[in-house]
Structure 1
Amino acid sequence: MARNPERRTALLDAAIDVLARDGARGLTFRAVDAGAGVPAGTSSNYFADRDDLLTQAGTRIHARMVPAPETVDAAMRPEPSRELVTELMRWLVRRIAEERTGYLAMLELRLEATRRPALRAELTRAVRADLEENVRFHQDAGLPGDADTVLVLYLAMTGLLLEHFTLPGVVSEEELDRVVETVVNAIVPAGVR
């Protein structure tokens, strides 16, 4: 296997673009090579097979979506409250909007995972670890609610993002902030710690 990390990253970013644009069925080594602007056959030197490419693309999507620590620190300056949770959820929506291609590619990977046990196991592991980290962060930050609050917020926001990015007419851009606030207010009652 080839060891040029910059080229591997470029190939994975091209794979994410292909997944978002053409779906999992369109993800071929040839499409990735074309998307990365490299000679045909290059991606087959970096990935053992299509399953390896899919799994590594999922890992790359997660890496692209993680906010920089200094950005998190800035977001956490206000006092822990339901209002801060609302702002954090709005920030999440903005971050995902900036990484729309990655989010759509992840949706494709999730669908593909229903047919590929190894991919399902890796995505389950990664998403579960992210969820556990979110629970730890929420509790350590003193935000209102408990582990169940974080789980329900995760599920509600996942559904909202799915609607917004796949069927944008269901929840318009203008309605998004209000809907996020409604979700948080329904899940995190005022004064709950």
Structure 2
Amino acid sequence: MRQNSERRTALTDAAVAVLARDGARGLTYRAVDIEADVPPGTTSNYFRNRDQLLGAAGERVHERLSAPAEVMANPRAEAPSEPRLRELLGALADRLTADRTVYLALLELRLEATRRPDLARALTRTVREGFDLSVEFHESAGLPGGRDAVLMLYLALTGLTVERLTLPGAFADISDSDVVDMLVEHTFRR
């Protein structure tokens, strides 16, 4: 297996794009080679099988959706407050929808995980680790509500993201900032 990390990342990003555009059934070595604009057979040199490619795409999606390292490194950058939570949630909502390809690929991976136990285990582990990091950040930042608040915020924002990316007209009369305001108000009024 090849080890060029830049090429591997480019292939994984191409796999994310293919997943978002064509779904999991459209994810083939050939489709990734074409998307990445590399010679035929390149993807198969980096990923032994489809499961490895799907797993790498899942890891890459979560990397691309993660908060910037400088934010995670300093949870106490500002005092805990409603405006601080509003800022953090707004930035998260923006990250989730800024590049629709990434989140649509994640949705495709989740659907494929219902048919692939190994992928389900890998995604479950990744999602849970991300959630636990979010709880740790939330508590370290001194924000209210603890684990329960983070769970409710996570579920609300992932649901909002699915709506925005799949049926944007369903709740077009409610802005993302309105939703964030409602979440912050509920979190601070508990």
Query: What TM-score does the superposition give when structure 1 sets the normalisation length?
Result: 0.91
- 2:185 is matched with 185
- Which deviations, in whole Å up to 9, do the C-alpha atoms of 1:114-171 show, x marking residues without a partner? 0000000000000000101110110011011111111111111111111111111123
Separation (CA, whole Å) in 2 of partners of 1:133 and 1:74 = 13
Counterpart mapping for 1:9-88 below 5 A: 9-72=9-72, 77-88=77-88
Compute the RMSD of aligned alpha carbons: 1.8
Q: Secondary structure at 2:40's aligned position in 1?
A: coil
Partner Cα distance (1:46, 1:156) in 2:
37
Conservation of the 8 A alpha-carbon contact between 1:19 and 1:105: yes
8 A Cα contact 2:163 2:170, kept in partner: yes
Amino acid at match of 1:11: L
Distance in 2, Cα, partners of 1:150 & 1:99: 23
8 A Cα contact 1:16 1:61, kept in partner: yes
1:108 to partner: Cα distance: 0.4
Runs of 4+ in 1 over 6 A off after TM superposition: none
Q: Kindly state the Cα deviation for residue 80 of structure 1 after the two structures are TM-superposed.
A: 0.4
SS at match of 1:168: coil
CA contact (8 A) 1:19 1:26 kept: yes
CA–CA separation in structure 2 for the residues paired with 1:130 and 1:173: 31
Deviation of 1:184 after TM superposition, in Å, equals 2.7
TM-score for the superposition, normalised by structure 2: 0.93
* One-letter amino acid of the counterpart of residue 3, structure 1: Q
Q: Number of residue pairs matched?
A: 190
Of the structure 1 ranges 121-130 and 83-92, higher mean CA displacement relative to structure 2 is found in: 83-92
CA contact (8 A) 1:75 1:88 kept: no
Q: Percent identity?
A: 52
User: For the Cα contact (< 8 Å) 2:75–2:141, is it kept in 1?
Assistant: no
Q: Which amino acid aligns with 2:188?
A: P
Gap runs ≥5 in structure 2 = none
| CA apart distance, 1:86 | 1.9
Deviations 1:45-104 (A, max 9, x none): 110111110011000111122232224568864320233212211111111222321111
When residues 123 and 15 of structure 1 are mapped into structure 2, their CA distance, relative to the original with a 3 A threshold, is: same
